[in-house]
């Protein structure tokens, strides 16, 4: 393999954005103070009780990790936990029955209560779930959700009904569940860099490619049906297209060039953005059909141009260019005209990723640090304001937004190896997802039915 070409690809495929001066929170995840939700442990009737550990852990994590709520500690919850609405009774002398004010008043101070129970019915695990606004004066006004969810009578089914109920709760607040989404990443745990996938919480890690070469930089189509990546299977950087529906490789014509690298899909999932040396000289930005046909050159400079990403809400591109010296982030129209630099030139800014809102970009930046010591930042491309999300913990790069626009997945080297982490868009809630081997370059894909 051409090691010079490989090292060049790794360096080039990481240039992105610099920003302005004000450091304030760019993304208000819940529009201010997050509502408090009480989630007591659910109980199961008969054989269903054996599945409640799996259910309770998953349900609590789904809501906690969503970034939408302040979770009420279970240690301050009342002893009498309702399992169904009929368990509630208005306060009366000598009564110990639960009432809404038990949950809305101190020390619980909840805004919402999620409760219910499970049972095995006709060979299925049935979850009876309710969501109440506990600040309402009566049960009729309090009920926001009352629904039955069905799953298989095992731990997988328990987690499934937990995901379904949590998704309905999140939808009430205008948020999306991450259940069913996939994170694609590069891992060398088999001895070669291959593409792997895992669920949003790090579970169910599976190998996708087995090329026994260097395979890297996965990107997922917005509709979640296709995966493109770059591989050195034939001793040069080439683009490979993969169907996530059939699990098979799709045809893709690579230009006769020393390097062809996939970077992004267009928002309609019908075209591919790439960077290539097909025009001779250094890498430039191109667009093609999904099979590599109808190649259209977008940039035409004497400088290295890489990592084009199309705004999901428009037709403009953010890309990385060395035209000013160090790699910086630029924006241009879809025809390649009116390119303007988004960054100040300080340090190296790399790996841009658009938030689904089309307003914010996450990226890695060496601002304020020695060369190569990246941290993750978020930028409002309209105001050029930025927020630093990681601080003094390893080398953090390759951020990619979750479909919910609230979470970010990224790679971090906090020891001897790179691992995959997630966090909320304000930098809180950091979770490590991988531990085996070296893992890097994550891409988050939407759930596909």
Q: What is the largest CA-CA distance in the chain?
A: 87
Domain chopping of the chain, boundaries: 3-22+178-445, 36-172
- pLDDT, tens digit, for every residue of 168-200? 999 999 898 998 999 999 999 999 999 999 999
Query: Residues 141-160: what's their mean pLDDT?
Result: 96
Query: What percentage of the chain reaches a pLDDT higher than 70?
Result: 92
- Decide yes or no: CATH 2.120.10.30 for domain 3-22+178-445: yes
Query: Residues 365-392: what's their mean pLDDT?
Result: 87
What Cα–Cα distance (Å) separates residue 223 from each residue in 226, 227, 243, 315?
Answer: 8, 10, 12, 17
- The pLDDT assigned to 334 comes to 83
Q: How many CA atoms lie within 13 A of 409 on its CB side?
A: 29
- The pLDDT assigned to 431 comes to 93
Structure confidence at residue 376 as a pLDDT band (50, 70, 90): very high
Residue 59 has pLDDT above 90, yes or no: yes
Residue 30 has pLDDT above 50, yes or no: no
Question: Domain 36-172 adopts which CATH fold?
Answer: Rossmann fold (3.40.50)
Cα–Cα distance, 354 to 432 (Å, whole number):
22
Query: Residues 321-349: what's their mean pLDDT?
Result: 87
Q: Which residue has the tokens 């490989």?
A: 6
Residue 124 has pLDDT above 70, yes or no: yes
Better-scored residue on pLDDT, 397 or 93 = 397
Q: Do domains 3-22+178-445 and 36-172 have the same CATH topology?
A: no
Neighbouring CB atoms inside 10 A of 84's CB total: 12
- pLDDT, tens digit, for every residue of 213-242? 999 999 999 999 999 999 999 999 999 999
Cα–Cα distance, 6 to 12 (Å, whole number):
10
Cα–Cα distance, 309 to 313 (Å, whole number):
12
Residue 14 has pLDDT above 50, yes or no: no
Neighbour-count burial of 2, counting CB atoms closer than 10 A to its CB (0-12 exposed, 13-18 middle, 19+ buried): middle
Structure confidence at residue 146 as a pLDDT band (50, 70, 90): very high
Query: Residues 347-360: what's their mean pLDDT?
Result: 94
Instruction: Give the torsion through C-alpha atoms of 340, 267, 211, 409, to 10 deg.
Output: 70
Residue 249 has pLDDT above 70, yes or no: yes
């Amino acid at each position: 393999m051409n090691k010079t070409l490989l090292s060049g690809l790794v360096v080039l495929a990481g240039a992105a954005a610099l920003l302005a001066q004000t450091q304030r929170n760019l993304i208000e995840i819940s529009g201010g103070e997050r509502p408090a939700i009480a989630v007591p442990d659910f109980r199961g009737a008969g054989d269903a009780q054996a599945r409640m550990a799996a259910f309770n852990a998953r349900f609590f994590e789904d809501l906690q990790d969503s970034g939408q709520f302040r979770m009420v500690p279970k240690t301050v919850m009342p002893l009498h936990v309702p399992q169904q609405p009929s368990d509630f009774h208005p306060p009366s002398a000598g009564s110990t029955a639960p009432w809404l004010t038990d949950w809305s008043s101190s020390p619980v101070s909840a805004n919402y209560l999620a409760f219910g129970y499970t049972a095995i019915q006709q060979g299925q695990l049935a979850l009876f779930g309710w969501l109440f606004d506990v600040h309402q004066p009566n049960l009729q006004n309090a009920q926001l959700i009352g629904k039955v969810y069905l799953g298989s009578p095992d731990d997988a089914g328990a987690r499934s009904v937990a995901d379904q109920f949590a998704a309905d709760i999140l939808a009430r607040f205008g948020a999306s569940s991450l259940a069913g989404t996939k994170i694609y990443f590069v891992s060398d745990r088999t001895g070669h860099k291959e593409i792997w996938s895992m669920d949003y919480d790090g579970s169910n890690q599976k190998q996708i490619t087995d090329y026994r070469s260097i395979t890297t930089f996965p990107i997922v189509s917005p509709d979640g049906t296709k995966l493109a990546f770059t591989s050195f299977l034939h001793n040069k950087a080439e683009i490979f297209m993969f169907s996530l529906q059939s699990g098979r490789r799709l045809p893709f014509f690579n230009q006769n060039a020393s390097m062809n690298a996939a970077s992004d899909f267009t928002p309609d999932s019908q075209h591919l953005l790439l960077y290539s040396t097909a025009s001779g000289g250094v890498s430039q930005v191109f667009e093609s059909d999904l099979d590599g046909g109808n190649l259209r050159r977008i940039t035409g400079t004497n400088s290295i141009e890489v990592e084009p990403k199309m705004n999901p809400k428009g037709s403009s591109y953010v890309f990385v260019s060395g035209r000013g010296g160090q790699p910086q982030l630029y924006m241009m129209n879809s025809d390649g005209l009116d390119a303007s630099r988004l960054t100040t030139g300080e340090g190296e800014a790399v790996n841009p990723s658009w938030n689904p809102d089309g307003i914010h970009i996450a990226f890695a930046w060496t601002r304020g640090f020695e060369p190569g010591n990246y941290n993750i930042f978020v930028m409002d491309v309209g105001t050029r304001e930025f927020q630093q999300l990681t601080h003094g913990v390893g080398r953090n790069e390759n951020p990619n937004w979750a479909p919910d626009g609230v979470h970010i997945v990224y790679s971090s080297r906090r020891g001897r190896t790179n691992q995959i982490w997630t966090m909320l868009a304000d930098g809180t809630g950091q979770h490590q997802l991988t531990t085996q081997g070296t893992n890097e370059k994550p891409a988050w894909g939407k759930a596909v039915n």
